[in-house]
A and B are shown apart, each in its own frame.
Chain A
Amino acid sequence: MTNTDTNRPVDEYVEAEVQRLLTEDGRISEQGLTVSRRGHTLILCGDVESVQRREEIVRLVREQFPGIDLQVDIGLTRAGAPTEAEELS
């Protein structure tokens, strides 16, 4: 079975392949995202550094796994200055 078969069920192997795609595809290279399944839905969760990175992830996963039920819970890391410091003695 190749990555481009249409309408594959969301099973363990899809979960494994998507997780590796997120890290190993040089256009993504995100090791810090979690991939999980709920029913027939594949869920991507975590934070990335830019909107373009999130869009590219969604585009590539949809392209390589057409027709899968995908839920994207990927946010942007917050880059504001901290308001408080932690005191350590």
Chain B
Amino acid sequence: MIRIAAVGDVHIDKDVVGRYRPALDELPDKADVLLLAGDLTRHGTEEEAHCVATEFGGLGVPVIAVLGNHDHQSDQPDAVTRVLTDAGITVLEGTGTVLEIAGVRLGVAGAKGFGGGFAGRCASNFGEPEMKAFVGTTEKIADSLGEALRALDCDVKVALTHYAPVPDTLVGEPLEIYPFLGCYQLGQAIDSAGVALALHGHAHHGTERGTTPGGVRVRNVAHPVIKAAYSVYHLLDDSETAGSTLAAAAR
């Protein structure tokens, strides 16, 4: 079993440093890895990134993150990434990493993602240059996520994004803003790669659980949605699944 803790949208600044610490001190007892699903800062400044590094650095378990739209607000995502990386946090953007946990190779690939909307109701790469740039960005990021996921050499794959790959986990948000909350191309990338679990944030009023068209479990771990410092997901391997099915049948 692999135990994955995850949270997104922590929006850290000076005023909240220390707020997560009591729960984070318990994290190594509950999880093997922590995934951060973007919007780590309020405005994407280096100073705020240092606050994130203070809060989520040196936890005793590996920490893997993607950036969110807030982390781009000051146009210095590279500086934010550098501060987090210096604190030992792995930041993914169209890239992946593999960890060995209790003899199982866990692969995580991630990207911020982007908006664009969902099947049949989405923006098209057509018309004005601004519109083509918008949808072109959606496509480029989703392609890089798909490539990174397919390239992972591991036993279990997890996809990490900020924007949503499915509309299921947006329920609770106004329908009109779905195209700003995610895109189907991320779901398609996830479905191309044999992923066990997809985690995202961004939709503060959304819903925790959803599924891609290909059957991959999706969880919205935006902080206001999960109502805790982080959520924990246990990924069971096949033998454990068989065991629990037998146990259930015996009841």
Query: Contacts A34-B205, A49-B15, A88-B217 known; A82 to B228 CB distance under 8 Å?
Result: yes
What total of A-B pairs shows CB separation below 8 Å?
A: 93
A89 touches B236 (CB 8 A): yes
Q: Which residues of B contact A33 (CB under 8 A)?
A: 204
Residues from chain B with Cβ under 8 Å of A47 in the complex: 204, 223-224
B134 CB within 8 Å of chain A? no
Whether A53 pairs with B15 at a CB distance below 8 angstroms is: yes
Contact with A along B202-238 (1 / 0, CB 8 A): 0011000000000001010011101111111111100
Contact A81 B228 (CB under 8 A): yes
- Of the residues A49, A50, A87, contact of B236 by C-beta under 8 Å: A87
Please give me the residue from chain A that is nearest to B10 by CB atom: A49
CB distance from A89 to the nearest CB of B (A): 4
Instruction: Judge if B244 is at the interface, Cβ distance under 8 Å.
Output: yes
Do A79 and B224 contact each other (CB < 8 Å), given the known contacts A29-B42, A86-B233? no
Q: How far is the CA of A77 from the CA of B23 in the complex (A)?
A: 13
A39 at the interface (CB under 8 A from B): no
Residues of B in contact, count (CB < 8 Å): 43
Q: Are A32 and B234 touching (Cβ within 8 A)? A: no
Contact A79-B228, Cβ < 8 Å, known A26-B43, A46-B204, A85-B30: yes
Contact between chains at B15 and A85 (CB < 8 Å): no
Residues 235-251 of B at the A interface (beta carbon under 8 Å): 235-236, 240-241, 244
List of A residues within 8 angstroms of B19 by Cβ: 49-50, 79
Complex CA gap A86/B5 in Å reads 10
Q: Type the 1/0 row for A65-89, where 1 means its CB is closer than 8 Å to any CB of B.
A: 0000000000001111110111111
A33 nearest CB neighbor, chain B only: B204
Interface of B is mostly: mixed
Pair A82/B16 contact, Cβ less than 8 Å:
no
Residues of A within 8 A of B217 (CB): 88
**Is there contact, CB below 8 Å, between B205 and A32?**
yes
Q: Which residues of A contact B112 (CB under 8 A)?
A: none
Tell me which residues from 18 to 65 in chain A have a Cβ below 8 Å from any Cβ of chain B: 26, 29, 31-34, 46-47, 49-50, 52-53
Say whether A32 contacts B204, CB under 8 Å.
yes
Q: Can you give 17 contacting A-B residue pairs, CB < 8 Å?
A: A31-B70, A32-B9, A32-B204, A33-B204, A77-B223, A78-B228, A78-B229, A80-B23, A81-B22, A81-B230, A82-B30, A85-B233, A85-B234, A86-B231, A88-B217, A88-B234, A89-B240
Please give me the 10 A-B residue pairs with the lowest Cβ-Cβ distance, nearest first.
Answer: A32-B204, A85-B232, A81-B23, A89-B241, A47-B224, A82-B228, A89-B236, A50-B15, A81-B26, A87-B234
